[in-house]
Amino acid sequence: MASVTAPAVQKPAFRSVGRSLLLTLPMALWAMVMFTPALRQPGRDGHIGAAAVAVFMTVLFYMMMRTGTTYRWRRIFFVALGFLFPVGFIASLIAVRGTMSIPIERMISGDTPYCFMVTPMVIVPAALFRTLIFPGSILPTPSNPHSIAAMIGLWLAVSLVVGKAWCSYGCFFGGIEEGFAAVAKRARLRRFVLHWGSRLRLTPWAILIFIVVLSAALMEPVYCAWLCPFKTITEYPAVRDVETAIQMAIFIMLFAGLVVALPFLTKKRTQCAFFCPFGAFQSLFNKINLFEIRFDREKCVDCTLCQTECPTIALSKESIREGKTLLNCMKCGACVDACKKDAAVWHIKGTRVGVKPERARLLFLYGGWAMATMFGGSILANSVTTMLGFLPWK
């Protein structure tokens, strides 16, 4: 359906406390539902962790409702998720295995936790050979509760509901670079982004093709074996020979360059924008997802502030002129919050642009934040519980 620009509607700058609380109530109840099982488990640390995260998520949602802005509150959660995920994950690896590295024999026995990044690589071999090329287990086992079936099911459900917003509300890896991007006060490599951004944003698609065809040819998840920067802070193959040493060197270089240095220098999520093949794959869900960001051309003055603020280079001058974002938009809300003319708006496909954008934002946020609470919140609660266990007086 063609979208027609509607008469201007003012975005509320602030809501009343009562109304904000009312709008937060469903999410508070959702958080309670999500964290009640943890409260039933024995152990005070677990209770404190679950309660703290339930309050944390509810307060952030309340602030979104109260202020009418999305980005900065989402970023607090997302950065916390990015930096706390490795804490809980590494602690559980060390508790179960005694080390972060995984020896080849344990890998073969299916003890590798399934990571959603593998998904695009397993599809072709599964279709052609009925073989899963990831050394995990389809159903949960005592030594590996992160089963393939559960992770794919969760990811698919979430992707259908929020599209590529998975990358800004669920991906714990993205939070790390967003954290490093937030550290610097200004972008030191601004010209690099301006000059190379439009070309490099297509690189993830090429990497996606590369890993998909090569994984099918070699019958192994090539990205995990050779290119994943996040192996550095999660689980890596035990270094026993030249090959694993090269793999480890690549992981560290990619992590240092794309996740730490470049985000700090450019204030962009460079790994997500220029490298992540899973992000490119996830972009396809934006095609079938209902929610999107649009630009009201009657209000837009082409100041390109939204383009400057976009952390993943999902806007170009041409796309803004057309009133749309690019396919790789992660719906983080940075452009909407930055726009001084209220031209960037949340939008539900099939409706008119600019008509009740706050309603579109609310509907999106209920889905997005529910996912964030369920998936990211449980990770946060686990990490907080782990950290409480390390307190010196315990």
Partner 1 sequence: MAAVSFSACAGEALLLGLATGPVCLASCGAVVLPWMLVQPQGLRAHGRQLLLFLAARLAGYLVFAAAVWWLGSTMARAWGGRSWILGVTELLLCVALLAYAAGWPHARCLVAGNAKELVQLGAAPKPRRMGAVALGFLTGINLCPPFLVAGVRVAQLGSLGAALLFFTCFFAGTAIWFAPFLSLGLVRRTPEFIFVGRLAAILLACWYGLSGVFTLVERTVYG
Q: Where do contacts with partner 1 occur on this chain (CB under 8 A)?
A: 124-125, 128-129, 198-199, 202-203, 205-207, 209-210, 213-214, 216-217, 219, 318
Nearer to partner 1 by Cβ, of 277 and 333: the residue is 277
**Number of Cβ atoms within 10 Å of the Cβ of 131:** 11
Is residue 71 within 8 Å of residue 269, measured between CB atoms? no
% helix / strand / coil in the chain, to the nearest 5? 65, 5, 30
Nearer to partner 1 by Cβ, of 16 and 131: the residue is 131
Across 355-389, b (16+ Cβ under 10 Å) vs e yields bbbeebbeebbbbbbbbbbbbbbbbbbbbbbbebe
Strands 291-295 and 344-348: antiparallel
Query: Rounded to the nearest whole angstrom, what is the least distance from the CB of residue 277 to partner 1 in the complex?
Result: 11
Query: Rounded to the nearest whole angstrom, what is the least distance from the CB of residue 224 to partner 1 in the complex?
Result: 15
Nearer to partner 1 by Cβ, of 109 and 198: the residue is 198
Query: Rounded to the nearest whole angstrom, what is the least distance from the CB of residue 108 to partner 1 in the complex?
Result: 20
* β-pair partners for 348: 291
Q: Which amino acid is it at 268?
A: K
Query: Rounded to the nearest whole angstrom, what is the least distance from the CB of residue 210 to partner 1 in the complex?
Result: 4
Nearer to partner 1 by Cβ, of 90 and 124: the residue is 124
Nearer to partner 1 by Cβ, of 141 and 203: the residue is 203
Listed in sequence order, the residues at least 6 apart from 88 whose beta carbon sits closer than 8 Å to its beta carbon are 379, 382, 383, 385, 386
Listed in sequence order, the residues at least 6 apart from 387 whose beta carbon sits closer than 8 Å to its beta carbon are 84, 87
Nearer to partner 1 by Cβ, of 320 and 355: the residue is 320
Across 149-181, b (16+ Cβ under 10 Å) vs e yields eebbeebeebbebbbbbbbbbbbbbbbbbbbbb
Query: Rounded to the nearest whole angstrom, what is the least distance from the CB of residue 207 to partner 1 in the complex?
Result: 7
Query: Rounded to the nearest whole angstrom, what is the least distance from the CB of residue 133 to partner 1 in the complex?
Result: 11
Which residue from 156, 155, 121 is spatially nearest to 135, judged by alpha carbons? 121
Query: Rounded to the nearest whole angstrom, what is the least distance from the CB of residue 280 to partner 1 in the complex?
Result: 9
Query: Rounded to the nearest whole angstrom, what is the least distance from the CB of residue 206 to partner 1 in the complex?
Result: 4
Nearer to partner 1 by Cβ, of 118 and 336: the residue is 118
Burial of 259 (0-12, 13-18, 19+ CB in 10 A): buried
Nearer to partner 1 by Cβ, of 302 and 318: the residue is 318
First-last CA distance in the chain: 61
Query: Rounded to the nearest whole angstrom, what is the least distance from the CB of residue 221 to partner 1 in the complex?
Result: 14
Query: Rounded to the nearest whole angstrom, what is the least distance from the CB of residue 127 to partner 1 in the complex?
Result: 9
Give the total residue count for the chain.
Answer: 394
Phi and psi based region of residue 251 (left: phi greater than 0; alpha: psi -120 to 50; beta: remaining): alpha
Residue 237 CA to residue 318 CA, distance in Å, equals 44
Nearer to partner 1 by Cβ, of 89 and 223: the residue is 223
Nearer to partner 1 by Cβ, of 17 and 209: the residue is 209
Nearer to partner 1 by Cβ, of 83 and 205: the residue is 205
Helix (H, G, I), strand (E, B) or coil at 371: helix
Query: Rounded to the nearest whole angstrom, what is the least distance from the CB of residue 279 to partner 1 in the complex?
Result: 14
Q: Which amino acid is it at 257?
A: G
